[in-house]
Amino acid sequence: MRRQHRSRRAPTFPHGYRYRLDDQDEANQNYLADEEEEAEEEARVMGVPNGQGQPTGNTWWQKLQLMNEYLWDPEQRMSLARTGQSWSLILVIYFFFYASLAAVITVCMYTLFLTISTYMPTFTERVKPPGVMIRPFAHSLNFNFNVSEPDTWQHYVISLNGFLQGYNDSLQEEMNVDCPPGQYFIQDGNEDEDKKACQFKRSFLKNCSGLEDPTFGYSTGQPCILLKMNRIVGFRPELGDPVKVSCKVQRGDENDIRSINYYPESASFDLRYYPYYGKLTHVNYTSPLVAMHFTDVVKNQVVPVQCQLKGKGIINDVINDHFVGRVIFTLNIET
């Protein structure tokens, strides 16, 4: 149908300035996302010889038919205005084009990884200065619990117990070495050599180790919270000046927290845990922890606490990032 129309209209007016727009090449006359419009046009062209406009339902039906014909034209054995041969040709071409593109990309990525060490990150400036996280952590930094209702704090205990499994004394003694405190544990050698890790035993955390008080003080309203500094490959605190932790009330009355015990008592991360060599070689590395034991906190009231790292190379006042060098959480202990 449509070809007839085309050819009938063809001689009346000079069209298409290129051979490629030749009437015989139906394939080229259909454009992307154009089916509907084409169909409409055709429908209207068809409407002319009959003179009067046709009822809309009819034209819709025609449109549908033309659409259908566009999708599959049994006469010409064409789908989407391409014959099977044309389709296979175009698919083959695209296949080769994309295959070679994929090859190019593979080669590029391969060369990229040749230049990047798997042991040491190329740059670490985005991950410095170190961030801080606390445990227990359950999606929220607000510790609300009722001392007399174990259900409200039981999950903290479970979380802490789970977290500290890797710090069990037996495990640490078995896997890691006891290295001298107060100095870096530097291991020279090839970067692909396995590195040893220093022990950080659960027992270092004393009252907060959960060994003596399996509820980590939650049952007595004296919760333990563990603080851990984010690992950064190659990060070294200042020699002789380990990174210290200090907590205070962030906003409000200073006296809301009357005493905090830190374990280890130095409230610092010992230098022997640095530097970190990356997880590929430093397999058994255990992050050092500092436990804060809030032994005397005002009850039945939200107390915002800010724990900061202090030391050379530590920044704890980035406005946008509340986890770099500090951590803020609230305690609301009900009795």
Site for other proteins in 226-265 (CB under 8 A): 228, 230-233
Residue 48 vs 254, nearer CB to other proteins: 48
Give the 3-state secondary structure of residue 160: helix
Q: Is the CB of 287 or the CB of 295 nearer to other proteins?
A: 287
In whole angstroms, give the CA distance from residue 118 to residue 135: 30
Residues 286-305 that bind other proteins (CB under 8 A): none
Instruction: Figure out which of the listed residues 4, 13, 55, 189 binds other proteins, where binding follows CB under 8 A.
Output: 13
**Position 81: which residue type?**
A
* Least spacing, CB of residue 13 vs other proteins, in Å: 5
H/E stretch holding 95 reads helix 84-115
CB of 53 to other proteins, least distance (A): 5
In the region spanning residues 154 to 173, those forming contacts with other proteins, defined by CB under 8 A, are none
110 near other proteins, rule: CB under 8 A: no
Torsion of CA 317, 321, 322, 325, to 10 degrees: -50
Nearest to 223 by CA among 289, 287, 142: 142
64-83: contacts with other proteins (CB under 8 A): none
> Looking at 3, 7, 8, 25, which residue binds other proteins (CB under 8 A)?
25
Q: Of 42-50, 163-171, 213-221, 298-306, which segment contacts other proteins by CB under 8 A? A: 42-50
Q: Is the CB of 127 or the CB of 298 nearer to other proteins? A: 127
Instruction: Note whether 328 binds other proteins by CB under 8 A.
Output: no
Considering only the stretches 37-45, 185-193, 214-222, 298-306, report the one whose residues sit in contact with other proteins under the rule CB under 8 A: 37-45
**Does residue 32 belong to the site contacting other proteins (CB under 8 A)?**
yes
**How far, CA to CA in Å, does 213 sit from each of 21, 217, 292?**
87, 7, 14
Nearer to other proteins, 107 or 239 (CB): 107
Kindly tell me the number of DSSP H helices and DSSP E strands found in the chain.
6, 11
Per CB under 8 A, the segment of 93-101, 179-187, 253-261, 263-271 that binds other proteins is: 93-101
- For other proteins, the binding residue among 5, 26, 40, 264 (CB under 8 A) is 40
Residue (of 178, 154, 285) closest to 231 by Cα position: 285
Question: How far is residue 322's CA from residue 240's CA, in Å, rounded to a whole number?
Answer: 27
Asked if 195 is part of the footprint of other proteins (rule: CB under 8 A), the reply reads no
Closer to other proteins by Cβ: residue 211 or 280: 280
Torsion of CA 119, 125, 126, 130, to 10 degrees: 90
Q: DSSP string covering 53-78, please?
A: PPPHHHHHHHHHHHHHHHH-BTTTTE
